[in-house]
A and B are shown apart, each in its own frame.
Chain A
Amino acid sequence: MRFHFKTSYDQDIRLFPDWWNFSLYALLLVLLLVMPWLIDDFYLGEMTNVLIWAVAGLGLMILTGQTGLVSLGHSAFMALGCYLTVNFMDTGMPFLLAFVLAGVVTGVVGAIVAIPALKLHGVYLSIFTLALAILADDIIVILDHWTGGVNGIYAPEIWIFGFEINRWAMPASWYYLALGTALFVTLIYRNLLRAPLGRAFAAVRDSEISAQAMGVDVARTKTLAFGFSCAFAGMGGALMGLFAGAFNNETFNFLLAIQLLMMIIIGGLGFIHGAFLGAIVIAFLPQLLAIGTDTLGINSVPGLETGVFGMILIAFILFEPMGLYGRWLKIRTWLELFPFARRDMFRRQKTYLKTERLR
């Protein structure tokens, strides 16, 4: 058993509570940095994919996991981020600037879109965002001057300070780009969580009425949640499109948004780790299935991937609503308390009656 003695408030404020925790994450970072020397190019590409999904997943997580607003339309913002990046680059902007600017613009657009959605709750908001995703598909086709329409566009060459980021010639370069973006987004996410805004997100999620009674401006908080969420999703979308090499309206159809939502639920809603764990599942599942069908000597079955993914989701909702990270937390607590863990420790308590919602 490890005891965590707190001697100063800073231990709860800084990024890592203690040396042990810091060393673990430092070790993980080192491992991620030397990854290109540890695995072959194919799996490095898959790792890049994981990180890209994680960036987009963190975007949806801030909205759905932290603020409690379920969006089925994040594919629209991923598309926006991607097309903006390419169009900014066409004007001669360097990639890094175009990429970050596209993220910011997508965030602003997301915040503006949020304004009519502020009064919507639960399933109505989901339907609204789903409509956005379907609409985005058509808009991409209509605006073919900028988007290439159904023919799509090929990803332009990417240069960062004189280095070419090329998936085929130098897979590690793409990997580091994705890793850098994931770290950047995670850092901002983590900073928000330990600042007043992150607590306001949680307050809006759990009780809008008492959030207001504590001085939290619900409309502003939701708008900001949408803004950050869409900005991250836009950056994830940009990486996803550029990494794929070519993309059109089909790349960003609404199934992508649903996949993203399923991913963060499997990973664990409301946890940064959840976005990463979910991304690992979503990126490696097709490989795992391919290996499985190969060893069984059967031809690949169409729709197998979606079917298995759906079943995994159902299993999680039924047996582990807190997702992979929630399961890990339970295992970790069990190990830390060994042999004193009790069976019912994580049984959920009945929630008490809530004040009428004044809606």
Chain B
Amino acid sequence: MSLLTLENVTLKFGGVTAVNNLSMSVNEGEVFALVGPNGAGKSTVFNMISRFYTPVRGSIAFDGHDLLKRKPSQVPSLGIARTFQNIELFERATVLQNLLVGRHRHRKTTLVEEMFFIGRTREQERQHRHAVEEVIDFLDLQAYRDKMIAGLPYGVRKVVELARALATKPRLLLLDEPASGLSVEETQDMRWWIDDIRRQMGITVLMVEHDMGLVSKVCDRVLALADGAKLAEGSPAEVQAHPAVIEAYLGTAAISKTANAKGERV
């Protein structure tokens, strides 16, 4: 069943067409990757789903809801969470506080209740904390719980961002380059986590990733973009072998070479 559907979506920045007539659909329970050279429009697609950008044409639907009718801050309440390419954490707050912001969409207290810390507020805080602790256990962040983000190394920040997205208890998780800047071991961890997120938590994952090793290991389907348009779609192996994809990455001369060396990675 299709969870997220983009139909004929076009986005222009002035004269530049960032995304050109793109249609795609992500099924419930799968791991779907967007690949493509730099500037292909992958992150732009993410930003449209998060509603930071509004396409000039086309429609985006999530689980029967028209996303284009929502404000950016209303998107998470549908069950969509995301991470950012360049890490957007709340720097002057602890890891725990960052994750608790992830619980924002689940709050039920009114302003007056929060002001005087009465009524449901205390019990709600306990529940938020419980949910956050589950994520902390899942991603092994116990040692960093009370650390400020400003002092954390890059690899840990990456995990905290994933944790914050998971704390929202999403149905669809958008990961913008989850493995960029990570060491081999950290990438390995990321791969297992993505597997677990899908298998144990039943969360659908849509990711942008350059590391084809990771993509081919965790993804069910891949869509290749170039210059904002769809090049190819299919299993990781199919897309990697697709002539248009090879051309976009390596140029036309590469096609004949890869045809000889079949099975090798592009």
Q: Which of B101-109, B192-200, B232-240, B251-259 is the contact stretch?
A: B101-109
- In B81-139, the 8 Å CB interface with A consists of 81-82, 84-93, 96-97, 100-105, 107, 109, 111, 114-117, 121-122, 125-126, 128-130, 133
Q: Would you give the shortest CB distance from B71 to chain A, in whole angstroms?
A: 8
Inter-subunit contact B52/A209 (CB<8 Å): yes
Say whether A195 contacts B91, CB under 8 Å: no
Residue A358 interfacial (CB < 8 Å): yes
Encode A200-223 as 1/0 by CB contact (under 8 A) with B: 101101110111111111100000
Minimum CB–CB distance from B109 to chain A (whole Å) comes to 7
| A:36-69 near B, CB below 8 Å | none
A224 part of interface (Cβ distance < 8 Å): yes
| CB-based contact A203/B90 at 8 Å | yes
A302 within 8 A of B: no
**B-contacting residues, A108-141, CB 8 Å:** none
Q: Is the CB of A13 within 8 A of B129?
A: yes
B86, A214: Cβ atoms closer than 8 Å:
no
A210 and B73 contacting across the interface, CB-CB below 8 Å:
no
Q: Is A209 in contact with B88, judged by CB distance below 8 angstroms?
A: yes
One of B74, B90, B164 near A206 (C-beta < 8 A): B90
Query: What is the 8 Å Cβ interface bit string for chain A, positions 315-359, against chain B (1 contact, 0 not)?
Result: 000000000000000000000000000000000110111110010
Asked if B12 is at the interface (CB within 8 A of a chain A CB), the reply is no
Contacts of B36 in A (CB 8 A): none
Q: Does B249 contact A (CB under 8 A)?
A: no
B157 in the interface, Cβ–Cβ < 8 Å?
A: yes
Q: Which residue of B lies closest to A12 (CB)?
A: B129
Q: Is the CB of B91 within 8 A of A358?
A: no
Q: Do the beta carbons of A217 and B157 come within 8 Å of each other? A: no
Are A354 and B115 interface neighbours, CB within 8 A?
no
Binding site of A, secondary structure by majority: helix, strand, loop or mixed?
A: helix
Cα A308 to Cα B157 in complex, Å, equals: 42
B203-236 at interface with A (beta carbon < 8 Å): none
Q: Are B168 and A355 in contact (CB under 8 A)?
A: no
Q: Are A206 and B89 in contact (CB under 8 A)?
A: yes
A195 CB contact (under 8 Å) in B75, B92, B117: B117
Tell me, in angstroms, the Cα distance from A42 to B104 when the chains sit together: 48
Q: Is the CB of B86 within 8 A of A216?
A: no
The reply to whether the CB of A270 lies closer than 8 angstroms to some CB of chain B is: yes
Chain B residue at minimum C-beta to C-beta distance from A269: B92
In angstroms, Cα B154 to Cα A9, docked, is 28
By the criterion CB–CB under 8 Å, are A210 and B89 in contact? Answer: yes
In the complex, chain A residues whose CB is within 8 Å of the CB of B101: 199-200, 202-203, 211, 214, 216
Residues of chain B at interface, number, CB under 8 A? 51
Which residue of chain B has the shortest Cβ distance to A189 in the bound complex?
Answer: B115
Q: Which residues from chain A contact B168 at a C-beta distance below 8 Å?
A: 214-215
Whether the pair A195, B109 counts as a contact (CB closer than 8 A) is: yes
Answer yes or no: B250 CB below 8 A from chain A CBs: no
In the complex, chain B residues whose CB is within 8 Å of the CB of A307 = none
A212 contact from B72, B102, B125, B130, Cβ within 8 A? B72
B76 within 8 A of A: yes
Is B150 in contact with chain A by the CB < 8 A criterion? yes
A131 CA to B111 CA in the complex, in Å? 30
Contact present for B73 and A218 (CB under 8 Å): yes
Docked-complex contact B130 and A206, CB < 8 angstroms: no
Cα A203 to Cα B204 in complex, Å, equals 26
On whether the beta carbons of B111 and A224 are closer than 8 Å, the reply is yes
Interface centre among B91, B130, B150 (most CB of A within 10 A): B91
User: Which residue, of A200, A207, A213, A352, has the highest number of chain B Cβ atoms within 10 A?
Assistant: A213
- Cβ of A188 under 8 Å from chain B: yes
Assembled-state Cα–Cα distance A207/B83 (Å): 13
Write the chain B residue with the least CB distance to A224. B111
Residues of B within 8 A of A186 (CB): none
User: Measured between alpha carbons, how far is A140 from B206 in the docked complex, in Å?
Assistant: 58
Decide: A192 and B73 in contact? CB cutoff 8 A. no
Q: Which residues of A lie under 8 Å from residue B107 when comparing CB positions?
A: 196
B2 at the interface (CB under 8 A from A): no
Cβ-neighbour of B84 out of A199, A203, A217, A355 (below 8 A) = A355
Cross-chain contact B114 with A191 (CB below 8 angstroms): yes
Q: Contacts A9-B129, A13-B122, A197-B114 known; A216 to B104 CB distance under 8 Å?
A: yes
Nearest CB in chain B: distance from A132 CB, A: 24
Given A199-B100, A199-B104, A213 contacting B92 (CB threshold 8 A): no
Q: Is the CB of B115 within 8 A of A188?
A: yes
Chain B's closest residue to A221 (CB) is B73
B73 touches A212 (CB 8 A): yes
Chain A, Cβ-Cβ closest to B72: A212
For B52, give its contact among A10, A348, A358 (CB under 8 Å).
A358
Identify the closest chain A residue to B128 (Cβ).
A196
A39 to B150, CA, bound (A): 43
Q: How far is the CA of A188 from the CA of B113 in the complex (A)?
A: 11
Q: List, in ascending order, chain A residues with CB within 8 A of B14's CB.
A: none
Q: How far is the CA of A197 from the CA of B104 in the complex (A)?
A: 9
The smallest beta-carbon distance between A191 and chain B, in angstroms, is: 4
Whether A207 contacts B73 by the Cβ 8 Å rule is no
- Interchain residue pairs with CB less than 8 A apart (11): A195-B109, A195-B115, A199-B101, A210-B88, A210-B90, A215-B75, A216-B73, A270-B92, A349-B151, A354-B86, A358-B47
Task: List 10 A-B pairs, minimum CB-CB distance, nearest first.
Answer: A215-B76, A210-B88, A195-B114, A215-B105, A206-B90, A212-B72, A191-B117, A9-B129, A196-B107, A217-B73
